[in-house]
Amino acid sequence: MKRNLVLMCLLLLFVASTTRAQTPVFDVGQANPLVAATGMSEVLGQVALTADAICGSPANGKCVTTAGTLSVSYVGVPLDNAVGFGVTVSETILGVTTVCVASPCAGSVVNGPLTAGTTAGSGYISFAIKGGITLTAGDQILINGARGEIAVTSLGCAGYDNSGPCPPSITPGSVEARVTTSPSTIAQFSQIQVTVGTLAPPLLVSATEVTIISPCQPKPYPSPLITAQEQYNPDFVDYRLVDVFESFPGPPGDVHQYGIFPNARPIFGATNNTRVYFQLNFPSSTSTPGPAGGALMPGITLTWPTTSQPDTVTAAMLTLLPGSTNSSATYIFDTQCQGYSDGNLETFVLGNVCSAATLPTNLLTVCTGQQFTTTPKIPASFVVANGCATAGTAVTGGGPFGIKLSGTAQDYGTADAQGMLVPTWITPLYLGGVAPSFTEKLQPIPGSNTTSVNPVPTPPGHFATGDHFLAVGPCSTALLFPYVLGGVVGFDTGIAIANTSRDIWNALGIPKPNNSSVTYENVGPVDEQLSNITVTTPTFPQTGACTLYGFPQSTAPDQAYPGGSGTASGTVPGNVLAYSTGILAPGDSWTGVLSGTPGFGPPAAGGNGFIGYIIAICDFQFAHGFAYISNPAGSANPNAAMGYLPLMIPDPRFNHTGTPALPLQSRAPCDASQAGGLAGGLGGNCIPQGEGLAQ
């Protein structure tokens, strides 16, 4: 009997001891943020290990730790940082929180060496677990601060160019974290692998072009626009750091327009805030990738807006950093409240005039420790510098691009705008690199439609919709009179040219309809020859002269053709003649009879006058003409007569494809694929012909 009682007591003690000393069981949770597919130092989501309910309450804790090592491995993703560069492991045991950012850790459970790095292509964070510590339900261990080199993995898109989600062979995916222990028996987990990052493209850049017709267009010139759009809500970040790439006078060296606020995002080793680099390219086809490139037409001086127009929801903006050039600039992301920005998809427009941003009065209630009682205001210094409004109002800033022309042919051409997130990754953060950093290419990419998920090819030499930034062309019209006679065996030609830049739209104030089914003239030197266009810019009156250039037939008899305005030009057939009409005001017309035009009529000694064609170059847009050939000249009852309208020649000096304007003698005729239409060679590196001409 006594023996059975002893055995029963031993059994009860054994059951009690095994019930109270259980291997810890953790529920594994995670944060799954969106991360940039081009990022090389992206903050991955938190891994949370929470003691399961089976571990009991503080009064009867049942889970006891065993000494060992716990590791989180980021499958296939190298880490850009290391211990001392943002890696953070924290524990909350019985309500007491201990944070470890350097080795050794000194928590009650997380106690001992802390390491982080990359092995076999996968990053890891590993830390020592102290044995003999009782865990109760709800106790937690949190692993944070891993910065993944996303773009170099098979998951990301190295050099993502925004011409589609990724190259066809790569689909942006997710980053997986795997939890393990050594020995493997010291803990149990509800799941051993969780998603800690979903990849997304971070940036979309586009531009809205303006055309300037020099020198006749009145000032001020309209401003082009460049738009930078976040591609997911928590994309851009303002850590309120003194950016390592900044070097500004005055403490603390930060150019942010808004005041300091408590960080809504932990830094985790960050050295800079989100920055966007913009570059202008002329000619587009030869632009150098990356921040080292960029060029603008050599006659133009351009200044960049000091800020973007604020996002109309969050009032966040992009602020210009020092060091901008005529063709490039870098902007820093600037927000009043990072938490509010993280909840909204933001758009930033460079070049817009000042506009009011509507902000809720409780904008900053989502920011820990800070409230605003009224709508936030832009600082007075910013308001004054940009001329936006009276200081203290709720109107926020922006401002146009400053464009100054030289008034010479050095102004002519077309420039495109591109952008990318910077800085470009060079070396890991723990080896002296910067974070965040990227491996982006400038976008939009020539030859692709950037607004479509699936790239849509465009004709060679042409560019994605919206990337044209600035086009400057000569203020002129070229009219071709293909056959004229100036006193040749009784035939003569009357010519009329009208300056129609004064029309019902600018003279009478009638707005032009924005209707693609209506055919009329636009402000652009190329657009005038096209039908079915949409006009958004009204005509402006222009003043100038027309020069008639006569090209005589090569088979005409040798004779002395006086040069332009009576200047001798030799006796060789094929001399080009020139005659100026004098200044034509808007609405005026010039008329002349060729036989009476100096240089085109018969010589004084007798004989025939000019036979050939005339190209009239007018120093204003919207020139139109008429020619009338009759025999005998000027007769009320001619034996033969005909009239025709001249053809309009696209001016080859004005280049709408971004390629340099080349001398005529270096240009070849456009081939069939180039002739005619904006999808062809108009204004390109060839001479338009055939269907490239229009009345």
Per-residue pLDDT reduced to its tens digit, 152-173: 877 766 544 444 444 444 455 8
**Under 8 Å between Cβ of 363 and 372:** yes
473 vs 163 pLDDT, higher one? 473
Percent of the chain clearing pLDDT 90 (strictly above): 35
Across 94-123, average pLDDT: 95
Nearest to 88 by CA among 142, 23, 131: 142
**What per-residue confidence (pLDDT) applies to 310?**
76
**What per-residue confidence (pLDDT) applies to 214?**
75
Cα(313)–Cα(414) distance, rounded to whole angstroms?
Answer: 34
Per-residue pLDDT reduced to its tens digit, 76-102: 999 999 999 999 999 999 999 999 999
Cα(253)–Cα(256) distance, rounded to whole angstroms?
Answer: 9
Instruction: Name which of 80-89, 406-415, 590-599, 657-666 the model is least confident about.
Output: 657-666
Band of pLDDT at residue 541, cut at 50, 70 and 90: confident
**Under 8 Å between Cβ of 152 and 199:** no
Band of pLDDT at residue 555, cut at 50, 70 and 90: low
Percent of the chain clearing pLDDT 70 (strictly above): 63
Across 201-210, average pLDDT: 86
**Under 8 Å between Cβ of 27 and 141:** no
**What per-residue confidence (pLDDT) applies to 409?**
80
Sign of CA dihedral 382, 386, 391, 396: negative
Most confident option among 222-231, 347-356, 381-390, 453-462: 222-231
Quote the tokens at residue 658.
Answer: 């971004």
R_g of the chain computed on alpha carbons: 37
**Under 8 Å between Cβ of 147 and 74:** no
Side chain identity, residue 101: V
Q: State how far the alpha carbon of 157 is from the alpha carbons of 41, 160, 203, 345, 388, in Å.
A: 14, 5, 13, 22, 41
SS (H, E, C) 182-219: ECCCCCEECCCEEEEEEEECCEEEEEECEEEEECCCCC
**What per-residue confidence (pLDDT) applies to 141?**
97
Band of pLDDT at residue 440, cut at 50, 70 and 90: confident
Across 619-641, average pLDDT: 82
Per-residue pLDDT reduced to its tens digit, 260-315: 555 568 899 999 899 999 999 886 544 444 455 688 888 999 999 888 877 777 77
What is the H or E stretch that residue 506 is in?
helix 504-507
Instruction: Name which of 5-9, 85-89, 117-121, 369-373 the model is least confident about.
Output: 369-373
**What per-residue confidence (pLDDT) applies to 606?**
67
Q: State how far the alpha carbon of 612 is from the alpha carbons of 54, 481, 576, 577, in Å.
A: 102, 9, 10, 11
**Under 8 Å between Cβ of 66 and 232:** no
Tell whether the model's pLDDT for residue 148 goes beyond 70: yes
Q: Is 268 helix (H, G, I), strand (E, B) or coil?
A: coil
Arithmetic mean of pLDDT over the chain: 73
Q: State how far the alpha carbon of 9 is from the alpha carbons of 2, 16, 22, 515, in Å.
A: 11, 11, 21, 97
Tell whether the model's pLDDT for residue 197 goes beyond 90: yes
Per-residue pLDDT reduced to its tens digit, 239-257: 877 666 554 433 344 555 5
**What per-residue confidence (pLDDT) applies to 229?**
93
208 vs 8 pLDDT, higher one? 208
Largest CA distance in the chain: 156
Q: Which residues contact 131 (CB under 8 A, 6 or more apart)?
A: 65, 66, 67, 68
Band of pLDDT at residue 47, cut at 50, 70 and 90: very high
Ordered alpha helix ranges (H), 176-230? none
Tell whether the model's pLDDT for residue 383 goes beyond 80: no
**What per-residue confidence (pLDDT) applies to 300?**
92
Neighbours of 695 (CB within 10 A): 10
Band of pLDDT at residue 117, cut at 50, 70 and 90: very high
Per-residue pLDDT reduced to its tens digit, 648-674: 987 655 543 333 333 332 233 334 333
Band of pLDDT at residue 554, cut at 50, 70 and 90: confident
Cα(28)–Cα(178) distance, rounded to whole angstroms?
Answer: 10
**What per-residue confidence (pLDDT) applies to 538?**
54
Across 113-119, average pLDDT: 96
376 vs 173 pLDDT, higher one? 173
Across 136-143, average pLDDT: 96
Neighbours of 458 (CB within 10 A): 15
Which domains are seen in the chain, by residue range? 22-200 (2.60.40), 203-470 (no CATH), 477-502+541-649 (2.60.290), 656-695 (no CATH)
Tell whether the model's pLDDT for residue 519 goes beyond 90: no
